[in-house]
C-alpha cells in the first residue's frame, strides 16, 4: 500500500466524484474508496493536499486519472461568460473531469440511458460483482470493472439479470464490437471529435448523448456539450435555446471548453431541485 499526494488547488473530491461522470466511487465522511482500471484506492483531503492511498500507487496513473496537471483556474476563466456561469463554477468548485477507462465508460453510459443515477450505480455494481476480479483492501472486498474479454460469453439474459432491461442487447453487442476490433479505442483517440462521433454512433444503444459522454469522460475530447434533460432545461431557461439546439448552442458558446462548461452547468442545475 503506497500513497500519492497532489495539491488540492481547484480540486474538490465531493464535486468531482458526485457530478455524474462516474458511478463507482463510494463516500464515507469525506473519504472516497473505489477501483479504477483494476487499481483500488482510498482518496481523501488532508490540509492542502489530496492523498491517494492505493494498492497500486502508480503516480502517473492517478495523476492522469484525476487530471491533476490541467490548469482549472484557466478553465474557469474561459467558461465564465455570464453571471449564471459564475454561479455554476462557484457552486461546482473543484470539479475535475476524470480520465476514465474507455470500455467501462462505454458500458456504463449505455446502461445510463433513460435511467437515474442511483439505478445506474446499482446495475454497474452488480456487473462488477458478478464478472469483475476480486480486490481485497482494508478488510473489504472490491471488484474491478470486467474486461470485454471476460464478458465474451455473457448472454443477453445474463446481462438482464443486473437490472438493465432492454439495454441488455446493447451491452452484448458492445462487447462484440470491442472484441472484434470494429470499435477501437486507439483509432478513436487519434480521430477528430467528428470522426470519433461517427464511429461510436454506429453502435447499438449509442446515440448523441451517450456518445458525447464517452468521448468527454474517456477519450479526452472536450469540444463537445453532452445534452441531457437537465442541460436542455438550463439551456432553454437561461440561454434562449430550444431543446433541440441545446448542444449546438453550448458548443458555439464554449468551443474547446464545452465539456467543462457542460459539467459545471449539469451539476449546478441538477442539484438546484426546482
Partner DNA sequence: CGCCAGGGACGAA
Partner DNA sequence: TTCGTCCATGGC
Residues that bind DNA (CB under 7 A): 19-21, 109, 112-119, 122, 163-166, 203-211, 213, 226, 228-231, 262-263, 266, 270
C-alpha cell at 205: 444503444
For DNA, the closer CB: 42 or 270: 270
Rounded distance, CA 3 to CA 137, Å?
Answer: 14
Q: Which is nearer to DNA, 77 or 114 (CB)?
A: 114
* Residue 168: CB atoms within 10 Å: 21
* Of residues 38 and 163, the one with the C-beta less far from DNA: 163
Q: Tell me which residue of 168, 171, 164, 169 sits closest to 150, measured CA to CA.
A: 171
Q: How far is the CB of 117 from DNA (least distance, A)?
A: 4
Backbone dihedral region for residue 191 (phi beyond 0: left; psi -120 to 50: alpha; all else: beta): beta
Instruction: Calculate ∠ Cα 175-67-98, nearest 5°.
Output: 35
How far is C-alpha 91 from the chain's CA centre?
Answer: 19
Q: Quick check: helix, strand or coil at residue 6?
A: strand
CB of 137 to DNA, least distance (A): 25
- Integer Cα distance of 120 and 112 in angstroms: 6
**Smallest gap, in angstroms, from Cβ of residue 34 to DNA?**
17
Residue 5: CB minimum distance to DNA, A: 27
Q: Nearer Cβ to DNA, position 1 or 229?
A: 229
Which C-beta is closer to DNA: that of 131 or that of 159? 159
Give the shortest CB-20-to-DNA separation in angstroms.
3
Amino acid at each position: 500500500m503506497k500513497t500519492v499526494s497532489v495539491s488540492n488547488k481547484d480540486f474538490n473530491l465531493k464535486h468531482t466524484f458526485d457530478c455524474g461522470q462516474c458511478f463507482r466511487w463510494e463516500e464515507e465522511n469525506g473519504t472516497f474508496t473505489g477501483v479504477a482500471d483494476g487499481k483500488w484506492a482510498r482518496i481523501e483531503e488532508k490540509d492542502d493536499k489530496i492523498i491517494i492511498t492505493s494498492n497500486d500507487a502508480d503516480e502517473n496513473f492517478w495523476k492522469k486519472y484525476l487530471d491533476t496537471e490541467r490548469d482549472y483556474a484557466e478553465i474557469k476563466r474561459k467558461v465564465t461568460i455570464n453571471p449564471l456561469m459564475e454561479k455554476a463554477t462557484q457552486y461546482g468548485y473543484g470539479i475535475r473531469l476524470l480520465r476514465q477507462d474507455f470500455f467501462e465508460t462505454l458500458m456504463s453510459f449505455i446502461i445510463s440511458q433513460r435511467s437515474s443515477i442511483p439505478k445506474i450505480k446499482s446495475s454497474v455494481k452488480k456487473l462488477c460483482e458478478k464478472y469483475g476480479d476480486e480486490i481485497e483492501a482494508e478488510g473489504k472486498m472490491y471488484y474491478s470493472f470486467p474486461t470485454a474479454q471476460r464478458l465474451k460469453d455473457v448472454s443477453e439474459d445474463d446481462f438482464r439479470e443486473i437490472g438493465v432491461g432492454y439495454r441488455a442487447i446493447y451491452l452484448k453487442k458492445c462487447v462484440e464490437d470491442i472484441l472484434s476490433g470494429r470499435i477501437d479505442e486507439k483509432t478513436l483517440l487519434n480521430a477528430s471529435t467528428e470522426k470519433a462521433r461517427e464511429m461510436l454512433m454506429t453502435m447499438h444503444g449509442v446515440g448523441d448523448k451517450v456518445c458525447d459522454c464517452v468521448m468527454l469522460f474517456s477519450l479526452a475530447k472536450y469540444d463537445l456539450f453532452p445534452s441531457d434533460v437537465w442541460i436542455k432545461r438550463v439551456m432553454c431557461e437561461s440561454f434562449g435555446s430550444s431543446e433541440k439546439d441545446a448542444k449546438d448552442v453550448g458548443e458555439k458558446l464554449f468551443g474547446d471548453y464545452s465539456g467543462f462548461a457542460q459539467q459545471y452547468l449539469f451539476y449546478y442545475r441538477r442539484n438546484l431541485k426546482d
